[in-house]
Amino acid sequence: MEVIAYFRTFFTDFVSILAEMSPYLLLGFFFAGLLYAFMPRQKIERYFSGSSIKSSVLASLFGIPLPLCSCGVIPTGTALYKNGASKGGTVSFLISTPQTGVDSILATFSLLGLPFAIIRPLAALITGITGGIITGQITPNKTENTSHPEQKEVEKSLIQKIKDVFRYGFVEFIQDISKWLVIGLVLAAIISALIPDDFFELLNFSPILQMLMILVVSIPLYICATGTIPLAAILILKGLSPGAAFVLLMAGPATNAATITMIGKVLGKKSLFTYLGTIIIGALSFGLIIDYALPSEWFTQIANEHLAHNHGQNSSWWQITSGVTLVVLIINGYIQQHFSSKQKTSKTINNNSMETHTIKVDGMTCNHCKSNVESNLEKLNFMTSAKVNLNEKSVTIEGDKIEVEKAKETIEALGYKPF
């Protein structure tokens, strides 16, 4: 009977959290599509070079609203650096971008309230600028621009841009974050069902010790900014201090083993230590401000109101509709990804008019990885096209007198492992 009761609580809490987040997530996905269609990366990467102060400020300002998941920001930042961005601007972008995004800001507001939703992008801005400026001062700014010919931006009609809004926001972006969003929701529901409400109060750990514990767990954790929100909300309900929950919100998306390895390899150890130090000090500093300088009810009242155990019974029709819509979109994303990969494989097999090679690549995980590998390979003189298959972890290149080793070097320079 206890097992059934736990399962019922898990299901109720999962539905409750999903219902609370879904309307704001759908709105966030729409804004993500708008940013993608009307502010493409080619238009902003020109601002990532120059003095460390200028490039750091602009990189943070542009990075905060961008809908990049924690895995997508790695290849994007690496590609920016390879194409001429300064080290300071690149580090600033890598710090600020994964912490937030239009989708996660709106979702933070839905579960954690306005104070968290304001402090989260503010912390990303301050830490991003700080890390970028320090990096620019202590490391030589040797950009890796290899003088590839600039790709001309294709002018799209308004109709095409509107299509891109919905294709990216409700298909590609959902494909990138759905895995980590579902993991976050499931973990939050498990914690809610199994851990007593006064768990952290019974442990009687000070807020500072709680922050340090969460920091140790968060640094290697691989989860997106949106996926941390339900975890933080549930942990606050279980007695975790709001400051410690904020450490999770900040350090969880911004640091993980893959990011740490990549920054050290591409930007060097000094940039890596600056990156980690800025995030750690920033997370602890903002956590202390939340716990000791601001009213606690600002950060606990909303979570308690929204995620009470019986709240799932009170979900409104529009929350339920949004939740069902989100589930359908997630399923559709996986279906589209599966059939897209099959079609690309079929086209590759049937197209023998030019020389083709398929290279296996380890480390590509999302559509941003796909875009970065394809666009950088297509800048090579001998390359006609490059098509990534994420499911098979491969890239098929087509061209005249293909230099496979040079293609592999380009892939490796972006932070992936060709073999």
- Out of 301, 330, 359, pick the residue that ends a domain: 330
Evaluate whether residue 216 is within a structural domain: yes
What's the rounded mean pLDDT across residues 45-55?
76
DSSP H/E element including 44: helix 41-44
Percent of the chain with pLDDT over 90: 25
pLDDT greater than 60 at residue 274: yes
List the single range of 78-82, 94-98, 151-155, 287-291 with lowest mean pLDDT.
Answer: 151-155
Chain segment 353-397, per-residue pLDDT in tens: 578 889 998 878 777 778 878 888 888 888 888 888 888 888 998
In a domain, residue 336? The reply is no
- Please check whether residue 359 is in contact with residue 411, taking contact to mean a CB–CB distance below 8 angstroms: yes
Instruction: Write out pLDDT tens, residues 221-260.
Output: 777 888 899 999 889 888 899 999 999 999 988 887 777 8
Its domain, for residue 403, covers: 351-418
d(C-alpha 108, C-alpha 104), whole Å: 6
Of the CA atoms within 13 Å of residue 313, those in its CB half-sphere come to 5
Mark whether 124 and 192 lie in a shared domain. Answer: yes
Domain end (from 280, 298, 330): 330
Q: Are residues 317 and 365 in the same domain?
A: no
409 assigned to some structural domain:
yes
What pLDDT, on the 0 to 100 scale, is given for residue 148?
A: 45
Question: 241 and 373: one domain?
Answer: no
The pLDDT of residue 285:
96
Residues 358 and 407 in one domain: yes
User: Does residue 343 form part of some domain?
Assistant: no
What token pair was written down for 238? 């279980």
| Nearest Cα to Cα of residue 354 among 394, 380, 386 | 386
More confident of the two residues 263 and 120: 120
Q: Do residue 115 and residue 57 come from a single domain?
A: yes
Task: Please tell me whether residues 97 and 153 are part of one structural domain.
Answer: yes
d(CA 352, CA 52) in angstroms, rounded, equals: 48
Number of domains in the chain: 2
78 and 177 in a single domain? The answer is yes
- Two tokens, residue 76: 């994007």
Same domain, 140 and 43: yes
Is 339 a member of any domain?
no
On the question of pLDDT at 312 being above 50, the answer is no
Token reading at 294: 């601001």
Arithmetic mean of pLDDT, 260-266: 80
Is residue 162 located within the same domain as residue 75?
Answer: yes
Calpha distance 323→22 (Å, rounded) = 5
Task: Please tell me the pTM assigned to this model.
Answer: 0.81
Q: Tell me, yes or no, whether 340 lies in a domain.
A: no
Q: Choose the final residue of a domain: 272, 296, 330.
A: 330
367-377 and 404-413 helices, crossing angle to 10°: 140
Q: Which two tokens stand for residue 406?
A: 């040079």
Looking at the structure, tell me whether residues 92 and 149 fall in a common domain.
Answer: yes
Two structure tokens written together for 33: 């599509």
Measured from the Cβ of residue 401, the count of other Cβ atoms closer than 10 Å reads 7
